């Protein structure tokens, strides 16, 4: 039985078990129909031309976690940004771990999707926002059909959330192969400000497939900063679907730090519904071995006077493959749009490859849109300069590569997070230097 | 003088009708509509082709039958009914003329309207013309001069008869019959086209040129061009197109194959100004063209195109950089107006070491038109030190048109250096202000800016063609040039 059949046939059992109100029930039933019809995307689809899911779909995943697993903080401390105070929403094999988490209802709601879906006091928010930004593609629909758990963050008007929120999904590998489908909802009210750090982490070498959907709503003048850390085990794959709807004068940024896993696909979609919106999409990808990272971005400019900034850097070693497919759509009404897109890549192995497709679709005339994309090597002169001053080759290369990706790091607003990323980069590049610049 | 604004320009663009639209009534012998094996055989027989050629066509036809019309391009149009097209039409009187006096006077008048007076051409420019009116070549000039150098320049049907060994060896090697839907169709039914062979070490002393015209109502034109530059040779080839104004859609599915052997260089320039349809988007030519060149070691192929016509354009002149140190270039201006749709670009396939490619594409969209750039730069794992530079700029006039870019970049070699940049903008108010400030009126300023915008490409055209290119730009964007 292939994975699709397995998922479709276990849907009924799932529905009976979660037993939630009719609102989500209808959405789920519709979604499973879409998935059943479309199935998993194949390379024949233009959006999946360079990424094949075949290698990860053949595992016999257990679709629901059978038992609750517990973890001690000491086991997983290293995956937290632990040197700052923060709210934490922790999941172990898709189940909420109250033991490790630190949630709140004090003025803001930082809690669980399962609670939000079931309790009447959240009903209004759920009806207004849940599944309102998410697309209708097959993987998102699959997630919608099985949506029951994840982070629920609701920040009302005029609140500045003092502490960042960390969302961590651990998989223990207690089963031979696990499939997880977390569903997150983030609603940020007018003038509010929130910072979120998200990480998916597998703790063993057993295969894990995560198909995650996050919906983010940034209302008027809200500021949302979302950081994704993807530095998983070699057998963990992640399909991360993020949908962001922005209202007028809001600022939203998503930083994606993709350092691995077996296959990582980021579908990042921004919809600008209002004027003077600013969207930022940045990413660093450093991978090796046979890893595959695919960034698929969409920025939809619908109204005038908005901006978007995209900057993706990639370093590809060994037999790794990278994909960047960035699409900017500027509608007829969206005059005075400024849209920028840059994608720079370095291949450091003959077996590595990169496919990039920066795409502009423009229907308005008074716009400034540009995209640039490069594939190149490290500057030999700079290498020579450093080596002639006694810096070993490996460190010299690492310094250059760090400098190459530093643009993206500069806009990270949490210093501790920046340090952590820097450490991961140093680790990835196999050097022990701090890059404390 | 009243102020000339972009609105005026837009107004002019709206009302500018196709100037070169006319229709010459020459008796043609035309095949019944439709396509089947018998028609393919009949075309082949009509052209007195050898058996191998007939078989080659039939093979292509069988492949075509199995294929489906591609839909990935960013264009919308009513699909042609392939059974409602007549696949062969040739001017009736078909003698080989020794002098121009013998040529059908009506035909000569056609050329005059197009601005190609044959006698003038003979005396002046040094351009050898292989004039194609509806598929059959009726006049060939300068054959003698070329003959002395050993250059073969003739229609492809003549070449099939006179130089079968060359045609057999190279036809379909760059664009195989099964390459794509329209290439297969063309392979099955191509009526005529040009054949050019430059022997080893010969520099062709003049620009070779062919004019294509679609003339008979309801006849699709299926041209086949094959240019072979033998080792160390050089040729510059010009192709220009105009078509009469006609309401019903005309299909044009040409195939051009270029082969540059070691150290050879081919420069292929196109000015295309087929009937784009009227201001309501009615009529116009469908232009679905497959153009590809193959570069052996140290060879160079350069495509230059000025696209102003056709209702729907679907065209990707490509270079396969097979040999080490080979070079591919693509320079393009695509202008769309009214309801025109263009999906054009190039493919650069880097296979050899130290291969280089340059892509400069300029798109200008006005009216309600859609202009897309679609390109592929592919560096294979064995292509050490491949280098590519791509630049695609779009200029938008009016808020009802669209400009799109779909660049695909695939690198499999770590030594590859690839740069791609694209911009989309309108004529900046600050640019116009700058010019006004210095005493240049708005009309001149727009002209200046559009000219400057397309300069990179216009400069690449051979002298003889630059004038015509200017003329065609004027038709499409009158008021903005000069």
pLDDT computed for residue B102 by the predictor: 53
A376 falls within a domain: no
Tens of pLDDT along A183-223? 999 999 999 999 999 999 999 888 999 999 999 999 999 99
pLDDT computed for residue B95 by the predictor: 38
Chain A nearest CA to B345, separation (Å): 14
Is the pLDDT confidence value at B220 over 60? no
Is the pLDDT confidence value at A16 over 50? yes
Chain B nearest CA to A349, separation (Å): 6
B482 falls within a domain: no
B453 falls within a domain: yes
Is the pLDDT confidence value at A67 over 80? no
Between residues B445 and B151, the one the model is more confident about = B151
Q: Which of B363, B422, B430, B446 to mutate to test the interface with A (most CBs of A within 10 A)?
A: B422
Cβ distance B413 to A347 less than 8 Å, yes or no, reads yes
Give the HSE-up count for residue B223: Cα atoms under 13 Å, Cβ half-sphere: 31
Mean pLDDT, residues B432-456: 82
Domain end residue (candidates: A273, A304, A322): A273
In chain B, the residue whose alpha carbon lies closest to the alpha carbon of A317 is B414
Tell me the average pLDDT of chain B.
76
A368 falls within a domain: no
A311 falls within a domain: no
Residues of chain A in contact with residue B398, where contact means CB-CB under 8 angstroms, are: 365
A220 falls within a domain: yes
pLDDT computed for residue A152 by the predictor: 94
Tens of pLDDT along B333-353? 888 888 888 888 999 999 999
B481 falls within a domain: no
Phi/psi for A412 (5° steps) reads -75, 125
B1 falls within a domain: no
Domains: count for chain A: 2
User: Are A245 and A394 found together in one domain?
Assistant: no
pLDDT computed for residue B97 by the predictor: 46
Domains: count for chain B: 1
A194 falls within a domain: yes
Cβ distance A360 to B425 less than 8 Å, yes or no, reads no
Cβ distance A360 to B416 less than 8 Å, yes or no, reads no
Mean pLDDT, residues B103-126: 49
A290 falls within a domain: no
Domain end residue (candidates: A216, A247, A273): A273
Mean pLDDT, residues B160-185: 88
User: Are A259 and A403 found together in one domain?
Assistant: no
B285 falls within a domain: yes
A45 touches chain B (CB under 8 A): no
Among the partner residues B411, B418, B423, nearest to A370 by beta-carbon distance: B423
pLDDT computed for residue B125 by the predictor: 35
| Residue B142, domain extent | 6-476
Tell me the average pLDDT of chain A.
89
Residues of chain B in contact with residue A363, where contact means CB-CB under 8 angstroms, are: 399, 401-402
| Residue A402, domain extent | 384-437
Considering chain B, what percentage of its residues have pLDDT values greater than 90?
18
pLDDT computed for residue B475 by the predictor: 56
Residues of chain A in contact with residue B400, where contact means CB-CB under 8 angstroms, are: 332
- Least confident range of A292-296, B23-27, B454-458: B23-27
Residues of chain B in contact with residue A353, where contact means CB-CB under 8 angstroms, are: 381, 410-412
Cβ distance A365 to B422 less than 8 Å, yes or no, reads no
Chain A nearest CA to B411, separation (Å): 5
pLDDT computed for residue B467 by the predictor: 66
Tens of pLDDT along A386-415? 999 999 998 999 999 998 988 899 899 999
- Least confident range of A256-260, A335-339, B12-16, B441-445: B12-16
Domain end residue (candidates: A273, A296, A313): A273
């Amino acid at each position: 039985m292939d994975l699709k059949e397995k998922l479709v046939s276990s849907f009924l059992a799932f529905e009976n078990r979660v037993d939630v109100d009719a609102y989500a029930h209808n959405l789920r039933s519709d979604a499973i129909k879409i998935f059943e019809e479309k199935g998993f995307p194949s390379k024949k689809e233009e959006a999946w031309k360079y990424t094949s899911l075949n290698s990860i779909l053949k595992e016999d995943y257990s679709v629901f976690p059978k038992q609750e697993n517990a973890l001690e903080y000491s086991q997983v401390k290293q995956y937290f940004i632990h040197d700052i105070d923060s709210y934490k929403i922790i999941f172990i094999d898709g189940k909420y771990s109250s033991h490790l988490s630190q949630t709140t209802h004090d003025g803001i709601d930082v809690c669980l999707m399962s609670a939000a879906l079931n309790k009447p006091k959240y009903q209004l928010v759920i009806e207004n926002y849940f599944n309102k930004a998410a697309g209708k593609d097959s993987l998102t629909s699959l997630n919608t059909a099985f949506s029951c758990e994840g982070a629920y963050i609701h920040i009302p008007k005029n609140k500045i959330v003092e502490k960042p929120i960390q969302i961590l999904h651990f998989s223990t590998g207690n089963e031979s192969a696990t499939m997880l489908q977390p569903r997150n909802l983030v609603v940020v009210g007018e003038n509010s400000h929130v910072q979120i750090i998200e990480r998916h982490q597998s703790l063993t070498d057993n295969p894990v497939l995560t198909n995650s959907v996050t919906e983010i709503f940034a209302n008027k003048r809200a500021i949302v900063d979302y950081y994704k850390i993807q530095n998983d085990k070699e057998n963990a794959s992640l399909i991360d679907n993020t949908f962001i709807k922005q209202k007028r004068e809001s600022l939203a940024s998503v930083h994606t730090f993709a350092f691995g896993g077996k296959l990582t696909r980021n579908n990042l979609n921004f919809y600008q519904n209002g004027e003077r919106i600013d969207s930022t999409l940045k990413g660093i990808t450093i991978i090796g071995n046979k890893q595959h990272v695919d960034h698929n971005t969409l920025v939809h400019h619908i109204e005038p006077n908005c901006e978007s900034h995209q900057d993706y850097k990639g370093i590809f070693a060994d037999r790794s493959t990278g994909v960047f497919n960035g699409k900017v759509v500027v509608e007829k009404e969206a005059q005075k749009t400024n849209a920028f897109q840059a994608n720079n890549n370095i291949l450091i192995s003959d077996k590595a490859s990169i496919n990039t497709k920066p795409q502009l679709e423009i229907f308005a005339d008074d716009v400034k849109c540009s995209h640039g994309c490069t594939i190149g090597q490290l500057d030999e002169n700079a290498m020579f300069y450093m080596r002639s001053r006694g810096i070993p080759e490996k460190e010299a290369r690492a310094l250059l590569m760090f400098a190459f990706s530093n643009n993206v790091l500069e806009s990270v607003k949490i210093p501790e997070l920046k340090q952590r990323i820097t450490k991961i980069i140093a680790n990835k590049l196999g050097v022990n230097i701090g890059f404390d610049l | 003088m009243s102020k000339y604004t972009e609105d005026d320009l837009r107004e002019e663009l709206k009302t500018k009708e196709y100037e070169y639209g006319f229709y010459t009534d020459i008796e043609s012998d035309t095949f019944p509509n439709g396509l089947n094996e018998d028609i393919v055989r009949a075309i082949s027989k009509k052209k007195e082709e050898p058996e191998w050629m007939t078989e080659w066509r039939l093979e292509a036809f069988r492949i075509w039958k199995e294929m489906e019309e591609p839909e990935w391009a960013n264009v919308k149009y009513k699909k042609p009914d392939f059974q409602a097209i007549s696949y062969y039409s040739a001017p009736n009187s078909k003698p080989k003329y020794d002098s121009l006096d013998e040529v059908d006077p009506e035909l000569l008048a056609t050329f005059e309207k197009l601005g190609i007076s044959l006698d003038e051409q003979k005396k002046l420019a040094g351009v050898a013309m292989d004039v194609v009116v509806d598929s059959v070549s009726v006049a060939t000039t300068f054959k003698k001069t070329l003959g002395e150098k050993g250059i073969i320049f003739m229609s492809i049907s003549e070449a099939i008869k006179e130089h079968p060994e060359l045609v057999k060896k190279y036809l379909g090697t760059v664009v195989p019959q099964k390459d794509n839907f329209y290439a297969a169709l063309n392979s099955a039914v191509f009526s005529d086209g040009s054949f050019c062979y430059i022997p080893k070490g010969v520099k062709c002393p003049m620009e070779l040129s062919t004019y294509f015209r679609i003339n008979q109502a309801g006849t699709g034109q299926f041209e086949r061009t094959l240019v072979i530059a033998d080792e160390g040779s050089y040729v510059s080839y010009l192709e220009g197109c105009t078509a009469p104004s006609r309401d019903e859609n005309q299909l044009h599915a040409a195939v051009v194959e270029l082969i540059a052997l070691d150290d050879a260089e081919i420069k292929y320039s196109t000015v295309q100004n087929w009937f784009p349809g009227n201001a309501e988007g009615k009529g116009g030519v469908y232009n679905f063209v497959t153009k590809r060149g193959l570069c052996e070691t140290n060879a160079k192929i350069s495509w230059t195109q000025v696209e102003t016509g056709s209702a729907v354009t679907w065209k990707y002149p490509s270079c396969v950089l097979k040999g080490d140190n080979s070079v591919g270039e693509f320079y393009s201006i695509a202008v769309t107006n009214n309801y025109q749709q263009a999906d054009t670009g190039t493919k650069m396939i880097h296979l050899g070491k130290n291969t280089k490619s340059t892509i400069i594409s300029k798109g200008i969209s006005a009216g309600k038109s859609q202009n897309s750039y679609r390109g592929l730069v592919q560096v294979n794992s064995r292509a050490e030190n491949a280098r590519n530079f791509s630049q695609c700029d779009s200029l938008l006039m009016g808020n009802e048109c669209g400009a799109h870019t779909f660049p695909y970049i695939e690198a499999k070699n770590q030594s590859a250096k690839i740069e791609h940049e694209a911009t989309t903008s309108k004529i900046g108010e600050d640019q116009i202000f700058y010019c006004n400030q210095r005493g240049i009126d708005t009309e001149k300023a727009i002209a200046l800016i559009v000219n400057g915008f397309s300069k990179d490409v216009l400069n690449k055209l051979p002298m003889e063609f630059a004038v015509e290119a200017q003329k065609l730009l004027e038709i499409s964007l009158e008021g903005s040039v000069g």
